[in-house]
Amino acid sequence: MDQQKTVKVIEVCLVQPPKGATPTSLPLTFFDLLWLRFPPSERLFIYEFPHPTSSFFDSVLPNLKHSLQLTLEHFLPLAGNITWPLDSPSPIINYVPGDAVSFTVAQSNADFNHLCSNFCEAKERFPLIPHLATSHEKASVLALQVTLFPNSGFCIGIPTHHAAMDGKSSTSFIKAWAFACSKLIESPSTSLSLPEHLTPFFDRTVIKDPAGITEAYVDGWLKNGGPNNRSLKVWETVSTIETEAVKGLFELTPSHIQKLKQYARSMLGMNVRLSTFSVTCAYVITCLVKTEQPKTNRVVFVFGIDCRSRLDPPIAPAYFGNCVAGQYNEAETKKLSENDGFIRALEGICEALVIAEGGILDGAENWVSSMHTMSEDRYFSTAGSPRFEVYSIDFGWGRPKKVDVTSIDRTGSFSLSESRNNNKGIEIGLTLKKHEMEVFNALFVQGLESF
């Protein structure tokens, strides 16, 4: 009989910023408010550590905790909570001395190599992500869990409140933490100086809102489940994933991407503007549509565009918070299911990207109200970005063996990152029912062979 897989919690503690930290309050911009009640974004960073358990508890864990404390001095809002004071027109992130980040230490007897493989059961990853506390009155911004797989490795589970930061910001925090940890291993210290590209920029005044988008979003949330609903409780799930679901990772190598672009140009013309993002998403969506065979007449693809360099004037790349605009395109389900579905999907994505260049915030005042009245169409969306370079995040014990966006299990999104093989390819993560994963895998592989 197989040994029952368990995750045993060893310790739950609170990690505070260093003493002397001052109270900090940040307003939520309309970019933040868009995600006010969305479920947390969740990621797993999995590292090899084939050493005795004693080495982990004597060296790795103390360094992770101490470096986290030093890093939080530069990221004080992450130790605080989102609140909505009665005298405030909109929610804020508030840190006061004494606030802290929940830090869980656990140990698992699950198969580490299976967890790191391209296919594993979705449910095996659930106990590796800590709960992010939210209530009607306040919501934590960040929680952490470090889980040891004795003599094999460890993983860091990180849920973050989506209204506090986008993927770029959360990744910059993790990179800063890893930088601090690596420096501690080299030389113990009680202070931390971050390089400029990892130093967060929190000034909310750079986000201009002459069209009153913030007020529109606040009004939308107050009426959602209202009247005057000031609840900060996040939606538990957007969709429910089956216990037999499988998480899969797929790779498009540079050669694959080049083939997709060449085929697209042969069909659409040499002057069409193509990107790795557009051909990747078009290919994944057509494989998904053929796998799932949605009963809906339309398929909608929603994706985010980083606005930091696109605002007028542009804002600092290190701006910490949310700064992503939503863009989408629609297509007939039947057309995506046909042999030229890839081309049809690609045309729509390219058109949406061109529209976004014309005005990145056009119609932004309607985003929240539109979200509350979403139709029954099949929606696909993305999480992550190859530009985040998540496989470069080294805490001092080597690059990640695997980075896994676990929150897509519940949202039905697919994740994008650079390839863990360090070959300039693209890694795609998605969660499907077991039989659907088998169909998708076959379509994904066979489709690439046909180009």
Give the tens place of pLDDT for each residue, 315-355: 999 999 999 998 989 999 999 999 899 999 999 999 999 98
Query: Is 58 designated active site?
Result: no
Residue 240 has pLDDT above 60, yes or no: no
C-alpha–C-alpha distance, residues 375 and 207, integer Å = 30
- Would you give the DSSP letter of residue 56? I
Look at residue 261 in the predicted model and tell me its pLDDT: 97
Mean pLDDT, residues 98-114: 97
CA distances from 220 to 138, 228, 267, 325, 396 (A): 19, 10, 43, 18, 45
| Candidates 162, 166, 256, 409; catalytic one | 162
Look at residue 316 in the predicted model and tell me its pLDDT: 97
- Those residues whose C-beta lies under 8 Å from the C-beta of residue 243, and which sit 6 or more positions away, are 122, 123
Query: Is 394 designated active site?
Result: yes
C-alpha–C-alpha distance, residues 318 and 308, integer Å = 9
Residues 130-162: pLDDT tens digits? 999 999 999 999 999 999 999 999 999 999 999
C-alpha–C-alpha distance, residues 99 and 103, integer Å = 13
| Candidates 209, 306, 377, 394; catalytic one | 394
CA nearest neighbour of 411 among 186, 236, 259, 170: 236
Residues 243-257: pLDDT tens digits? 689 999 999 999 999
Look at residue 1 in the predicted model and tell me its pLDDT: 39
Mean pLDDT, residues 381-392: 97
Strands 24-27 and 378-383: unpaired
Write out the H or E segment, with its range, that includes residue 27: strand 24-27
Work out the mean pLDDT of the chain and round it to a whole number. Answer: 94
Strands 324-332 and 298-306: antiparallel
Residue 239 has pLDDT above 90, yes or no: no
